[in-house]
Amino acid sequence: MATIALTGAASGIGAATRDRLRREGHHVIGVDLRGAEIDADLSHPGGRHEAVEAVRNMSGGKLDGLVVCAGLGPQVRDHRAIVSVNYFGAQALLAGLRDCLEKGDRPAAVAISSNSSRIPGLESPVVDACLDGDEERARAEAAERGGVFAYAGSKLALARWVRRAATRPDWAGCGIRLNAIAPGATLTPLLQAGLDDPEHAESIKAFPVPLSGTGAYGRPEDIAAAVVFLLGPDAAFCCGTVLYVDGGSDALIRPDEY
């Protein structure tokens, strides 16, 4: 039985991942605003510190897996909060719990990015501000540019952080596998909130999903299956991977890039 910490555990992809891991017999320590083992607000440094310390205490300082899934969608009116949760919250948990993973058995970490992060035209100064670790600048850029740029920028920055960190001595060099998943449109409360928002609904509905014959949107369970794969022994040689689970959307939009 592995001990795995999971942010965003109370709903959507996080809840589906929690349920699958528990069915497989693992001990899951959930983190969310409410409704999980640990209640914490990842939008500010104090909440992140509380989450790290609580996970450390509940795990006895040893983790076999970590999934950073908590996130806010582009429809959230507080655009500053989007980057604070999606990038800084995720990165703080990954960095803050790395030493617990180092003590684990075949440890692995998975970050949830998004296929929207690579849509042409959506890269912005939000990305560089995040990667520079300048949260105030990132929040200011998000407020200026709006929810779509805040969301895509924070998710792109997270994927790039994963790619840069994965091969470092303190991650791969310590035997910790770090990877990311870029989900496509997945029918979660986050996506439903976007569909219910007049400002974002039409662009979401227009986003192409080649496998739409099997359903317009993915299921949280589809993403959970990919997370469990990257956490497990079958992904033992995956390091710094960004796995697209999006029904073919990215391949359609960017067929010559991979």
Active site amino acids: 151
How far apart are the C-alpha atoms of 46 and 44, rounded to whole Å? 6
How far apart are the C-alpha atoms of 81 and 143, rounded to whole Å? 9
How far apart are the C-alpha atoms of 179 and 112, rounded to whole Å? 9
How far apart are the C-alpha atoms of 142 and 238, rounded to whole Å? 32
Q: Is 35 exposed, middle or buried (0-12, 13-18, 19+ CB in 10 A)?
A: exposed
The helix (H) or strand (E) run that includes residue 155 is helix 147-166
Local structure of 44: helix, strand or coil: coil
